[in-house]
Amino acid sequence: MPTEPFQIAGSIEDALSAMATGARPVAGGTDLVVGARQGKSPLPSNLVAVDRIVELSTIEQNAEGVIVGAGVTHATLMTDPLITSGYTALADAAALVGSPATRNVGTLGGNVMNGSPAMDTGAPLIVLGAMIDLRSQGGSRRVAPSKLWTGPGSTSASDDELCVAVALPKRSERSGSAYVRLEYRRAMEIAVVGAAASVELNDEGVIEQVAIALTAVAPTIVALEGLTDLVGRRVDEDVLAAVAAIASSQAQPISDLRAGADYRAHTVGVMARRAVDAAARRAAGETIEVPVNRAEGVGRTDRP
Amino acid sequence: MSDATHQEGGADAARPISYTLSVNEINYPVTTSPGSALLAVLRNDIGLTGTKEGCDDCECGACMVLVDGQPVNSCSYLAAQAQGRAVSTVEGLADSSDLHPLQQLLLDAGGVQCGFCTPGMLMSARALLDRNPNPSDDEIRIGLSGNLCRCTGYDSIVAAVRQAADQLDSSTGS
């Protein structure tokens, strides 16, 4: 067991060393500490604060794409030019998380490792083809989110593995992405349901690639299957209707205090079609401000 | 009843640690459990009770303080994580006997009724004006979106922040 109940890591190595002897990492604490206050689970007996590790807080571009440090906050994700220009769905999602206070301390790595099926950043990571970099004293590995998230609040990572970064592959010029969620209020909200889409168009405006993932309709964030029929078509009303139908049919939601299962299955289709519509318009060069929820009035009662 | 000092086991039950917290530019030596929330330490150990406990669940914003100038829900932020950082609370807002313009204008506009949300509201507003001296009404509402008020309906609060922005802007001559 570690000798100190609370340590502040100055480097990734410091954090891994503490975790090797049983300490659990805390970044912003917006899930971990809130969960303890709510009585979900007590705080771990030994904590290592990872929020001062400079190596975790950078966003860097390389030949393969962009590497986002696990300690990058939502406030940074929603404004960083690399994210808002190339990985806009992730910026849309980060801008919807909690309130300014939540976004100042909440981190992408914290979201990823908390493994909530309702996390706003999860569906964007899936459609953007993100890979998760984990490190322990035993070594490093890169894992797909779909292999990492095993159920509500559970992951395949071992206790001594720290999420150090999220790798986002390079995007084509003719691609766009978007995330929208159904919400009952505009702040301190958790997605009732949500959907992210990534669309790549060819020079004629025809779909070359499309990916869609859903929030809060299954034990984990889920990627939609059976989208290959959409390739080669224009994003018109028929395609958007097909998207909604596919999303609703593949959702396996539960009923809880936020919504019933039938309502979730229906509305996730609406979110999916709006996500694809916004992603395709961005791919075609249209500017839709981050987040789509505010720019397009999702959730407004006076929306036409 | 919810209580910021509630002991949950784990890090809350671990042996106490000692460190220094800088609050409103004054250093306070404290000895707390590693799991103590900043809110509990401010109120119970340091004795600064201006910061309020509302929900103790990171929802209402009554506990809002600034850490290195950024608003943070102190009910859910570990006090030990604030060591080496500058914590600002509502007690540090006024300049000796003079209320900060945000405080005075909030009173003048009727933006204070029961007053329980006011300290958190003031800290969010201050952080907003520090980084954006001339916010739009939309930006004010987003800046205060983590602070719930059950009395005012918010319009008077938004108006007060707008007036404070104008007053601070003209007083700095920018």
Number of domains in chain A: 2
Binary contact (B124, A101; C-beta < 8 A): yes
Alpha-carbon distance of A300 to A36, in angstroms, equals 34
Q: Show residues of chain A in contact with B34, CB under 8 Å.
A: 5-6, 43, 47
* Beta strand A193-201 pairing with A207-215: antiparallel
Q: Which of A8, A36, A188 sits opposite B59 (nearest CB)?
A: A188
ipTM: 0.91
Q: Is the confidence at residue B28, as pLDDT, over 60? A: yes
pLDDT at res. B174:
47
B9 pLDDT tier (thresholds 50, 70, 90): low
Tokens of B56: 């103790």
Tokens of A85: 């220009």
What's chain A's average pLDDT?
A: 95
Quick one: average pLDDT of A182-198?
A: 94
CATH superfamily for B101-171 is: [2Fe-2S]-binding domain (1.10.150.120)
- DSSP-assigned beta bridge partners for residue A136: A139
Alpha-carbon distance of A25 to A104, in angstroms, equals 18
Q: Show residues of chain B in contact with A39, CB under 8 Å.
A: 8
Q: Show residues of chain B in contact with A3, CB under 8 Å.
A: none
Residue with token string 């309709």:
A217
3-state secondary structure of A143: strand
Residues in chain A: 304
Binary contact (B17, A29; C-beta < 8 A): no
Share of chain A above pLDDT 70, in %: 97
> Does residue B37 belong to the interface with chain A, where contact is any CB pair within 8 Å?
yes
Residues 6+ apart with CB under 8 A from A126: A145, A146, A196, A211, A213, A221, A223
How many Å lie between the alpha carbon of B16 and the closest alpha carbon of chain A? 8
Alpha-carbon distance of A28 to A23, in angstroms, equals 16
Alpha-carbon distance of A211 to A183, in angstroms, equals 22
Q: How far is CA A163 from CA A27, A46, A110, A136, B98, in A?
A: 11, 18, 8, 9, 48
Whether residue A167 contacts residue A250, with contact meaning beta carbons closer than 8 Å, is answered with: no
Q: Is the confidence at residue A299, as pLDDT, over 60? A: no
Q: Is the confidence at residue B4, as pLDDT, over 50? A: no
* Beta strand B64-67 pairing with B70-73: antiparallel
Handedness of CA B37, B40, B45, B48 (dihedral sign): positive
Q: Show residues of chain A in contact with B74, CB under 8 Å.
A: none
> Does the residue A244 lie in any domain?
yes
CATH number of the domain encompassing residue A9: 3.30.43.10
Q: How far is CA A300 from CA A281, A293, A294, B61, in A?
A: 21, 9, 9, 24
Q: Which is nearest to B146 in space by CA: A49, A274, A74?
A: A74
Alpha-carbon distance of A296 to A176, in angstroms, equals 16
**A2 phi/psi in degrees, rounded to 5:** -65, 150
Q: Which residue of A has its CA nearest to B121?
A: A101
Quick one: average pLDDT of A271-295?
A: 97
B131 pLDDT tier (thresholds 50, 70, 90): very high
> Does the residue A21 lie in any domain?
yes
Range of the domain at A271: 175-295
Q: Show residues of chain A in contact with B9, CB under 8 Å.
A: 42-43
> Does residue A183 belong to the interface with chain B, where contact is any CB pair within 8 Å?
no
CATH number of the domain encompassing residue A185: 3.30.390.50
pLDDT at res. B160:
97
Domains B10-92 and B101-171 share a fold: no
Q: Which of B10, B15, B61 sits opposite A99 (nearest CB)?
A: B61
B97 pLDDT tier (thresholds 50, 70, 90): confident
Quick one: average pLDDT of A80-93?
A: 98
Alpha-carbon distance of A148 to B126, in angstroms, equals 40
For B83-93, the pLDDT digits (tens) are 999 999 999 99
Binary contact (A33, B77; C-beta < 8 A): yes
Quick one: average pLDDT of A247-252?
A: 98
Alpha-carbon distance of A134 to B104, in angstroms, equals 51
> Does residue A42 belong to the interface with chain B, where contact is any CB pair within 8 Å?
yes
pLDDT at res. A3:
65
Q: Is the confidence at residue B2, as pLDDT, over 90? A: no
Quick one: average pLDDT of A100-106?
A: 96
pLDDT at res. A39:
78
Q: Is the confidence at residue A159, as pLDDT, over 90? A: yes
pLDDT at res. A303:
47
> Does the residue A110 lie in any domain?
no
How many Å lie between the alpha carbon of A47 and the closest alpha carbon of chain B? 7
pLDDT at res. B5:
44
How many Å lie between the alpha carbon of B17 and the closest alpha carbon of chain A? 8
Alpha-carbon distance of A18 to A49, in angstroms, equals 10
Binary contact (A101, B61; C-beta < 8 A): yes
pLDDT at res. A34:
86
> Does the residue A151 lie in any domain?
no
Binary contact (A5, B17; C-beta < 8 A): yes
For B39-75, the pLDDT digits (tens) are 999 999 999 999 999 998 889 999 999 999 999 999 9
Q: Which residue of A has its CA nearest to B11?
A: A45
Q: Indicate the fold that domain B10-92 takes in CATH.
A: Ubiquitin-like (UB roll) (3.10.20)
Q: Which of B9, B72, B81 sits opposite A42 (nearest CB)?
A: B9
- DSSP-assigned beta bridge partners for residue A181: A194
Q: Is the confidence at residue A186, as pLDDT, over 90? A: no
Alpha-carbon distance of A132 to A113, in angstroms, equals 10
Alpha-carbon distance of A245 to A269, in angstroms, equals 6
> Does residue B80 belong to the interface with chain A, where contact is any CB pair within 8 Å?
yes
Binary contact (B10, A34; C-beta < 8 A): no
With helix as H, strand as E and coil as C, how does chain B read? Answer: CCCCCCCCCHHHCCCCEEEEEEECCEEEEEEECCCCEHHHHHHHHHCCCCCCCCCCCCCCCCCEEEECCEEEEHHHCEHHHHCCCEEECHHHCCECCECCHHHHHHHHCCCCCCCCCHHHHHHHHHHHHHHCCCCCHHHHHHHCCCCCCCCCCCHHHHHHHHHHHHHHHHHCCC
Tokens of A288: 């839709």
A298 pLDDT tier (thresholds 50, 70, 90): confident
How many Å lie between the alpha carbon of A188 and the closest alpha carbon of chain B? 6
Cα B8 off chain centre by: 25
> Does the residue A258 lie in any domain?
yes
Give the residue with greater pLDDT, B8 vs B115.
Answer: B115
> Does the residue A198 lie in any domain?
yes
Q: Is the confidence at residue A297, as pLDDT, over 90? A: no
Quick one: average pLDDT of B154-162?
A: 97
Binary contact (B8, A188; C-beta < 8 A): no
- DSSP-assigned beta bridge partners for residue A149: A155
pLDDT at res. A282:
98
> Does the residue A43 lie in any domain?
yes
Q: Which residue of B has its CA nearest to A29?
A: B77
Q: Is the confidence at residue A142, as pLDDT, over 70? A: yes
Q: Is the confidence at residue B15, as pLDDT, over 90? A: no
Alpha-carbon distance of A88 to A292, in angstroms, equals 9
Q: Which residue of A has its CA nearest to B125?
A: A100
Alpha-carbon distance of B136 to A78, in angstroms, equals 19
> Does the residue A31 lie in any domain?
yes
Q: Show residues of chain A in contact with B145, CB under 8 Å.
A: 99-100, 186-188
What's chain B's average pLDDT?
A: 92
Q: Which of B10, B64, B83 sits opposite A101 (nearest CB)?
A: B64
Around Cβ A296, how many Cβ atoms within 10 Å? Answer: 18
Q: Is the confidence at residue A301, as pLDDT, over 70? A: no
Least confident of A25-29, A39-43, A109-113, B122-126: A39-43
